[in-house]
A = this chain, B = another copy of it.
């Protein structure tokens, strides 16, 4: 009889706790093989300080159910990077702790960097003939992991972006005067989430009229020209930009903002690309302009949780447990999409070394109209991922989230 331990790492999403729910639920169903289901508090970093909990005894049934709609990371997270050198003393220290806790199954829910942890731990385990099975469960709103159709977390964030852009467009169109609204969306290097803004478009020439991803260089003068031209056709423009848009030399647009503003201590005023472009448009075109930074809400809104996403996240968690029991290790759970319609995915496994430290960006052929729009290929890809609304248990008018004691 061995024990299971699970941790969360990196930035949280609306469904990272759904994956945790999947792991716990599946883990508790194999009483013949798994004795205890533990959770690391604050990932591997907290575990090194012996911070962990028993997820069977220390989580109420109500909290367990609420996990599925609770954003953030129930177990806490970390941004701890294990050393490249597998001879580093942190490795034997970790495996000593695993041994003391009789860990047979190790699961890490996270993105790119977390898969790096899974890679290193599984390589160390192989080298030292450890029987611990080590698997990664993907999560990131950025959707930038390779070798999987998409990542849990993206669908809900995309649903937030699409519905918000739609609502912002409705809000921005109430007056009979020309206006520009710039919506800044997360995604430093990959524009998947910004591209989801296109899902808000209900008919041709509907908002958003212009969408800029970091996959394509951003030219400020061209941008002003494109806004000017669009204003000739339409009164109220909504424009989506990725936080990571940059010029042809790779300089982020938000860096222009920090260059021009200084605070009273002579330090740079840090502001986003959206705010910078708001000022730029105001200055050059003299039109009413507003910028909206969707900010952390896009990754932690429960009301826009996609039921498809939440279910898939939980499935990834439970699949990881059964795969580990089958002897798999050093792998990440991946989603494979069946060809054709209706939308259907199945879980599979990929070598985690092929995933970590790589980044999947939006295919350039999906970015059209001189880098200002998104093709229907993307719409067909993303639309199934935002389907369905999760039922939200409420308490006193607000979602009844799970809290760690």
| In the complex, A79 has a CB within 8 A of chain B | yes
Cα(A172)–Cα(B290), bound, Å = 26
Interface flags, A244-267, vs B, CB<8A=1, else 0: 000000000000010011111101
A361: Cβ under 8 A from any B Cβ:
no
Residues of B within 8 A of A283 (CB): 263, 265, 267
Give which listed residue, B45, B79, B162, B175, contacts A398 with CB less than 8 A.
B162
Smallest Cβ-Cβ distance to A389: which chain B residue? B394
Assuming the contacts A386-B398, A397-B199, asked whether A303 and B304 have C-beta atoms less than 8 A apart, the reply is yes
Does chain B have a CB within 8 A of A383? yes
Residue from B163, B270, B295 within 8 A of A292 (CB atoms): B295
| Residues A279 and B260 in contact, CB atoms below 8 Å apart | no
Q: Which residue of chain B is the closest to A199 with respect to CB atoms?
A: B398
Q: Which residues of B contact A394 (CB under 8 A)?
A: 389
Q: Which residue of B lies closest to A8 (CB)?
A: B174
Determine whether the beta carbon of B271 is less than 8 Å from that of A71: no
A297-B297, A397-B199 known; A261+B269 contact, CB < 8 A: yes
CA–CA, A275 and B254, complex, Å: 14
Contacts of A328 in B (CB 8 A): none
A299 to B172, CA, bound (A): 11
Q: Is A302 an interface residue (CB 8 A)?
A: yes
Q: In this complex, what residue of B is CB-closest to A379? A: B396
Q: Which of B78, B176, B260 makes the CB contact (< 8 A) with A176?
A: B78
The answer to the question of A46 belonging to the interface, with a C-beta cut-off of 8 Å to chain B, is yes
Known A166-B401, A170-B71, A279-B269; contact A175-B76, beta-carbon cutoff 8 A: yes
The minimal Cβ–Cβ distance linking A162 to chain B, given in whole angstroms, is: 6
Task: Name the interface residues of A9-32: CB closer than 8 Å to any CB of B.
Answer: 11-12
A143 at the interface (CB under 8 A from B): no
Asked if A126 is at the interface of the complex by the 8 Å CB criterion, the answer is no
Chain B residues within an 8 Å CB radius of A302 = 163, 167
Are the CB atoms of B162 and A42 closer together than 8 Å? no
How many Å from the CB of A394 to the closest CB on chain B? 7
B72–A173 contact, CB under 8 A?
Answer: yes
Set B12, B162, B265, B398: member contacting A171, Cβ < 8 A:
B12
Check B260–A167 contact: CB distance below 8 A: no
CB pair A300–B260 under 8 Å, yes or no, is no
Asked if residues A264 and B260 are in contact (CB atoms below 8 Å), the reply is yes
Contacts of A79 in B (CB 8 A): 175
Question: Is A381 interfacial (CB-CB < 8 Å)?
Answer: no
**Residues of B close to A12: CB separation below 8 A:** 170-171, 174
CB distance from A249 to the nearest CB of B (A): 17
Complex interface: chain B residues within 8 A of A278 (CB): 270
Contact across chains for B300 and A170 when beta carbons are under 8 A apart? yes
In the complex, whether A202 has a CB less than 8 A from a CB of chain B is yes
Q: Which of A45-83 contact B (CB under 8 A)?
A: 45-46, 70-73, 76-79
A159 contacts partner chain B, Cβ-Cβ < 8 Å = yes
Q: Which residues of B contact A163 (CB under 8 A)?
A: 302-303, 398-399
Most buried by B among A199, A296, A302, A389: A296
CB of A227 within 8 Å of the partner chain = no
Please name all residues of chain B whose beta carbon is closer than 8 Å to the beta carbon of A399 when the two chains form the complex: 163, 166
Q: List 10 A-B contacts (CB under 8 A).
A: A11-B174, A70-B170, A72-B170, A72-B173, A163-B399, A167-B300, A168-B300, A260-B261, A260-B262, A261-B262
Q: Given contacts A170-B300, A199-B397, A267-B283, could you give 8 more A-B pairs where the C-beta distance is less than 8 Å? A: A77-B174, A78-B175, A159-B397, A263-B283, A271-B271, A290-B296, A292-B293, A383-B397
